[in-house]
Structure 1
Amino acid sequence: MLKFIARRLLLALITLGILLVIVTLIPNIAPGDPARKIAGGTASPERLAQVTESLGLRDSVATQLGDLGISVVTVDFGDSFSVAAGEPVMSLVFTALVNSAKLVGLSLLIMVPIAILGGLVAAYKKDTWIDRTIVNTGLAFSAIPDFVAGVFLLAFLAVPFEFFKVQANPPPGASVAVQIQHLLLPALAVLMVYFGYIARITRAGTINALEADYTRTAFMRGLSTRDVFRKHIARNALQPTVAVLGTQLGYLFGGMVALEIVFGYPGMGNLIIRAVDRADYPVLRAGVLTVAIIYMIATLCADLLVAWMNPRARLNIGEDS
């Protein structure tokens, strides 16, 4: 097990190193003068020189890469230039990260049980009208972009019903219930987009588990459906679902830009897009790297969970150790 974890961590570090190189090169290969974009067209030569020095653009790429690595280790990316001038970058990232965590957490609480239940029901009712209804509904929802789903929910829920809020960002000091009320529509939009994908993955895994020899043997031994599902089907059927959810977690933190814009929510995706728009490279670097690290951690946790759910994988890991 330790060797398995070590290999996964080494792969994550290599991926992070490649990403550090790419993020370092962004201001160096971007068209135009990054300092001019940040300081503005009417900035004085002294201001341009100050911004250039702050970005480290006068240093070699290797030096910039080393400085960025130190920033990651020390969790210090300096101050924002234009998104929130003078504010510490990590303060902005932490605030956006907390907001994204709230939205992602509520979205998963709603989406995962419903999608998995839909996949399980579709598998048990394979080739019936129930199966076809769940699969086709999921396919139709999956074809809808997330921002279209958000606009659809705004039009059909927020407008006629006061309970649903147009703005996802709750007022300061709002209770947990009020925060959930404000986040409900974007969470439902995530459900619409991901329901079909997760349900189909769960359905396929469940069908494979139901048709496996160990399942037939368990039924022949007289075990009840509940015991067969709990002991033999659940772990094997849900392994692909767990793996998919782990890989999608990083996207949920940083990729819901359109949804965050539609609902006016200050999450990680919104922060990154504002950093791109205003050429705030310290914020952009910190935001991209934060999302990447979350993605790596989520993927590692999903791999470990799948290994725990799969006896054969656990055996292979134990042999490696």
Structure 2
Amino acid sequence: MSQILKMVAQRFALGLLTLFVVSLIIFLGIELLPGDIAEEILGQGATPETVAAFRRELGLDVPPHIRYVEWLWNMLQGDMGRSLANKREISELIGLRFGNTLFLAVTAAAISVPLALTLGVLAALYRYSFYDRAVNVVTLSSISFPEFFVAYILIFFLAVTYPVFPSIANISDATPFWEKVYKVLLPALTLTLVVVAHMMRMTRAAIINLLASPYIEMANLKGLSRARIIVKHALPNALAPIINVVVINLAYLIVGVVVVEVVFVYPGLGQLMVDSVSKRDLPVVQAAAMIFAGTYVLLNLLADILSILTNPRLLHPR
């Protein structure tokens, strides 16, 4: 147990260092953007004196390194600051949007994880068959296309040609739960097609790798059916790599939804970040990017912990 705690502490410290580096990259990247919110709000007709006065009012005349230190210190205290565009608390703006992003990610995960595991087990059970080749071709094809292309294809077929789902996933706090599920099914299906190939192929590869093990050969000699051998004997021992790839793809479902949210005009954190970039609302962009980075780091740490709990041999690398 102490080794696991030591590993968690090491990974957590590395995660904090990663977040620090990410915060620097985010701040420098935003500083390099042309223009600022003062010019965006006042317009091109504003005089330089008016722009300078407005920048002083917003605190944008302070040197970048001082603004970075102040911003980082406030973030460590849980203070995300206020939006430059509407003066609202950033935590208030992000709270609801991040909840919507999590709802979309959970819906996509509820579809993709069982589907990927089922396809992977069946592909291992019937490997080199027509089914195995067909599933590999379809999943690899879906993952080869960018998210926006998959989204527009699904909109064309399932919202325009055959109007089964709405093309815009417009939800709010007042939307009933099942209506919310119905509205996010199309963007969730888009994310499913993007991530299911990784999980399915890892499941298939992990199970096939174990089929040559001595205990699997013994199970074959006992006359057990191939399906029982895979499900009861191979799958539990293949959980470590499968869990790892599943959790990493769950991290992608949360932090990689920006393009999907923009295509479906979904009111999530990704859409908020894109809108804030267009408005040059830099504090909101910084806070949203740090939340995405923190979520990804935490889920990667969770993947490491779950992998070791399911296979303690990983604590002792050869």
The two structures have a TM-score, normalised by structure 1, of 0.88
How far apart are 1:104 and its partner, in Å?
0.3
Q: Which residue of 2 aligns with 1:58?
A: 62
How far, CA to CA, are the matches of 2:311 and 2:90 in structure 1?
42
How far, CA to CA, are the matches of 1:231 and 1:125 in structure 2?
16
How far, CA to CA, are the matches of 1:111 and 1:53 in structure 2?
48
Q: Which residue of 9, 22, 27 maps to 1:24?
A: 27
Preserved contact between residue 207 and residue 230 of structure 2 (Cα < 8 Å): no
Preserved contact between residue 163 and residue 181 of structure 1 (Cα < 8 Å): no
Aligned residue for 1:71, secondary structure, equals helix
- What code does the residue aligned with 1:215 have? I
How far, CA to CA, are the matches of 2:256 and 2:52 in structure 1?
32
Preserved contact between residue 35 and residue 52 of structure 1 (Cα < 8 Å): no
- What code does the residue aligned with 1:81 have? L
How far, CA to CA, are the matches of 1:172 and 1:27 in structure 2?
31
Moved more, 91-100 or 244-253: 244-253
Preserved contact between residue 93 and residue 287 of structure 1 (Cα < 8 Å): yes
Structure 2, gaps ≥5 residues long: none
How far, CA to CA, are the matches of 1:51 and 1:297 in structure 2?
36
Moved more, 16-25 or 232-241: 232-241
How far apart are 1:171 and its partner, in Å?
5.2
Moved more, 111-120 or 216-225: 216-225
Q: Which residue of 2 aligns with 1:101?
A: 102
Kindly report the root-mean-square deviation, in angstroms, between the aligned alpha carbons of the 2 structures. Answer: 2.5
Is residue 2:5 matched to residue 1:2?
yes
Q: Which residue of 2 aligns with 1:306?
A: 307
Aligned residue for 2:75, secondary structure, equals helix
Aligned residue for 2:238, secondary structure, equals helix
How far, CA to CA, are the matches of 1:195 and 1:263 in structure 2?
20
How far, CA to CA, are the matches of 1:242 and 1:212 in structure 2?
20
Q: How many residues align?
A: 313
Q: Which residue of 1 aligns with 2:84?
A: 81
Preserved contact between residue 123 and residue 206 of structure 1 (Cα < 8 Å): yes
1:203-243 Cα distance to aligned partner (Å, 9 max, x none): 11111122223322444466666764455422332322322
Aligned residue for 1:10, secondary structure, equals helix
Alpha carbons of 1:40 and 1:88: their partners in 2 closer, same or farther (altered >3 Å)?
farther
Q: Which residue of 2 aligns with 1:210?
A: 211
How far apart are 1:308 and its partner, in Å?
1.0
* 1:197-236 correspondence to structure 2 within 5 Å: 197-220=198-221, 228-229=229-230, 232-236=233-237
Preserved contact between residue 209 and residue 237 of structure 1 (Cα < 8 Å): yes
How far apart are 1:186 and its partner, in Å?
0.8
Q: Which residue of 2 aligns with 1:280?
A: 281
Alpha carbons of 1:286 and 1:60: their partners in 2 closer, same or farther (altered >3 Å)?
closer
Preserved contact between residue 150 and residue 186 of structure 1 (Cα < 8 Å): yes
Preserved contact between residue 307 and residue 313 of structure 1 (Cα < 8 Å): yes
The two structures have a TM-score, normalised by structure 2, of 0.88
